[in-house]
Amino acid sequence: MHAKYQNIFDAIVATHVKHTLSSDILQRQSTWNLTMPPETDFNILQKLSSSTPATTSNNLTTFLNHYSYLIARNNPSIFKQFDTIHCDGILLCIYLRAIGVHKTRVSFDMTSLAIKVFRLASENNYTVHFIGGEQGVAKNACSQIQRAYPDLKVSGVANGFFSSEEERNSIINTICNLNPNIVIASMGTPYQEQFLIDLKKSGWSGDGYTSGGFFHQTAKAGLAYYPKWVNRLNLRWAYRIYDEPKLINRYTFLFIKFTFVFAYDAIKYKLKAKNQNKIRGHHE
């Protein structure tokens, strides 16, 4: 792409992505120093295409849908540090398949990965720490989960809204001292990712999973949040709008913005792959 037009295109994309973030997110980014850097060579599509399920312990795993994709691409320093990034959302899966990246939906909920994690923890006596949601949400969700998995060992439960940096640091220190095998953070992107990274940097060694609204959904509706027919028809996004009408903007206006940004990233991803193939061809 000609440099002149690429610079113009970059400016348009940066403006679009910046406005996808609500004022609440921008405020919280300032609070936790999650700044929005200028676009770098980091391409979230490259990370998604090369990411495979972790086969060893002491790994960080997160999940992206079309909404969190917009946030992830503006926080490269965070998402570079994750061992595995799953595609959470059928819409993102469809877009990825269109450019030759074949990913299946994997989410941290009771229709997908959460079942495997809780079963593994129960069978191996792993300790699990739950953090996220408003006051009482994580505790309620944890109680629901323990009823289904009575052998699950819980090291602790905490809400994900901190009154100060000191409280946040205190919770991190507490978790490090307990050193649970698994930590599940349900705070929304990018705060849950940053929390797990800070936990690792503070000395915790274990497997970390982000889970978005999983605690909230479980506390509200139990383990079977999605009706079976909704899950079977891949209509989870529509059910979320029905259950939480405030999300309609995420699945309409922000989806249009995502389509624009994704197309731009896909072009860069394909051009980079083409150039790499040419370089390899010259060396052979």
pLDDT score, position 212: 92
pLDDT score, position 56: 59
Confidence of residue 278 (pLDDT cuts 50, 70, 90): low
Question: Mean pLDDT across the stretch 226-236?
Answer: 90
Percent share of the chain, pLDDT over 70: 81
Domain count, the chain: 1
pLDDT score, position 28: 42
The pLDDT tens digits of the residues spanning 41-94 come to 567 888 888 776 665 578 999 999 999 999 999 899 999 999 999 999 889 999
pLDDT score, position 280: 63
The residues, any chain, with a CB within 8 Å of residue 258's CB and separated by 6 or more, are 20, 66, 67, 69, 70
Confidence of residue 123 (pLDDT cuts 50, 70, 90): very high
* Paired sense of beta strands 207-210 and 182-186, if any: parallel
pLDDT score, position 284: 60
Q: Furthest-apart CA pair in the chain: how many Å?
A: 61
Confidence of residue 275 (pLDDT cuts 50, 70, 90): confident
pLDDT score, position 281: 62
pLDDT score, position 139: 96
- Domain range for 65 is 3-283
Both tokens of residue 73? 């691409």
3-state secondary structure string across the chain: CCHHHHHHHHHHHHHHHHHHCCHHHHHHHHHCCCCCCCCCCCCHHHHHHHCCCCCCCCCEEEEECHHHHHHHCCCHHHHCCCCEEEECCHHHHHHHHHCCCCCCECCCCCCCHHHHHHHHHHHHCCEEEEEECCCCHHHHHHHHHHHHCCCCEEEEEECCCCCCHHHHHHHHHHHHHHCCCEEEEECCCCHHHHHHHHHHHCCCCCEEEECCCHHHHHHHHCCCCCCHHHHHCCCHHHHHHHHCHHHHHHHCHHHHHHHHHHHHHHHHHHHHHHHHHHHHHHHC
The pLDDT tens digits of the residues spanning 7-16 come to 544 443 444 4
Computed over every residue of the chain, the mean pLDDT equals 84
Contact assessment for residue 5 and residue 11, using Cβ atoms and an 8 Å cutoff:
no
Confidence of residue 142 (pLDDT cuts 50, 70, 90): very high
pLDDT score, position 183: 98
Confidence of residue 274 (pLDDT cuts 50, 70, 90): confident
The pLDDT tens digits of the residues spanning 143-194 come to 999 999 999 999 999 999 999 999 999 999 999 999 999 999 999 999 999 9
CA–CA separation, 135 and 132 (whole Å) = 9
pLDDT score, position 282: 59
* Paired sense of beta strands 60-64 and 84-87, if any: parallel
Does residue 17 carry a pLDDT above 60? no
- Minimal CA–CA distance to 64: which of 92, 40, 42? 92
